[in-house]
Structure 1
Amino acid sequence: MLTLENVVAGYGSTTIVQGISLEVSSGSCGVLVGPNGHGKTTLLRAISGLLKVRSGSVTFDGADITKLRAEKIVERGLIHIPQGDLVFPDMTVAENLQLGAFTRTAAKRAKRRLEEVYDIFPRLLEREHQRSRTLSGGERRMLALGRGMMGDAKLMMIDEPSLGLAPVIIDEVYRQIRRLIDSGLTVLLVEENFGRAQELASQMHLIENGSVVKSGAPAEILDDRTVRETYLGVAE
């Protein structure tokens, strides 16, 4: 579904992503793990067209999207859910969801997609007429995910869904992401918490200093002594 070949990206004169190559298979969940500030968010921004790819290529669903504008990438079904609660606070839950179906293709399927969103996130149906500012942190995170679904997503990139949430709310958000994956959606997730990452991951990619230093199944990554000592604090 998604293939990166030697992707390089950054800001101004600073290069952050240092030639990353990886693949995410259709229907799977790939997870980017690693320390904060090492390029995971920058990589998502490059994939989604919010940041220019300096070199390398991004292929999505069989097409080269490296040089496409962000809105054209969204039209193809690659949806980016950034960090935080970036919903429109003075709009209702229903209005936020409707905005997710702004593309011509998504608009045609908006009614069916809305039913799917409310099936996966029943709490949003309960709150559909509330202004988004009145929602809890966990509910706003669910709303951001639901709005991404409304874009007729084939692949959803989710950047640190647990950021700033209480543990009990994180459990609920991760249950809902599991439902998205079980429904057949392909997911690329950024998560610093290795324990949380292994709950969902089909494949994990350890990012350090803008490069992939190790890729593999969760058990393979967590069985690495260096990973356990450096990132999990387990002395051996």
Structure 2
Amino acid sequence: MSAELSILDLFLQASLLVKIVMLILLGMSVASWAMIIKRSQILSNAASKAGRFEDRFWSGVDLSQLYKEVEARKDDLMGSEQIFYTGFKEYARLHRSNGQVPDAVMEGTSRAMRVSLLREVDELETSLPFLATVGSISPYIGLFGTVWGIMHAFIALGAVKQATLAMVAPGIAEALVATAMGLFAAIPAVMFYNKLTNQVSKLEHTYATFMEEFSSILHRQAFAANQE
């Protein structure tokens, strides 16, 4: 009879605490999958935008013209575009007020771009700590449910005079479902945490490289303007 039980049957027959554990794990699994899908789309979009913007940046377009194009949609910027917008805006402001000291202009510009870079990376890493948490604690939550369920089954078994395997097996099976659900929640969370973290690292490297290249261009312009 126990072989015919479905997971739903095992859940319904489990003790209240084991049911709560299973529901918690189910909720964590659903939430982690929602975050995985959303964050994967955001990172894929960020990589595409970075590639398109850098193609435009290196196409030979005038930086002032590019700045005007970017400024027209400044509320929808991310990644390299945001770093460019922040850096060029700060460069133009400092150059107007302190153009005779190019080192000061570049120091302020670089500082503004570094802050922008950190903010962009922080935005990319949103939800990743939650995935790490799910991956690390889900097996232990499931194990807690399993231990409690098995303990409950053996306590009930001790109350009868003639104990058989058929009497204890359903209770143990109910408890083991909690461990299975813990692994079901943890494994995808760990796998995608590693995958998404790697994507964030690659994007961070892309942004940092662009920032350094852009800084070099502005550095040349600042010193060339000072010599005129």
Greater RCO structure (CA 8 Å; 6+ sep): 2
TM (norm. structure 2) is: 0.21
Greater fraction of residues in helix:
2
Greater fraction of residues in strand:
1
Structure showing greater Rg: 2
TM (norm. structure 1) is: 0.20
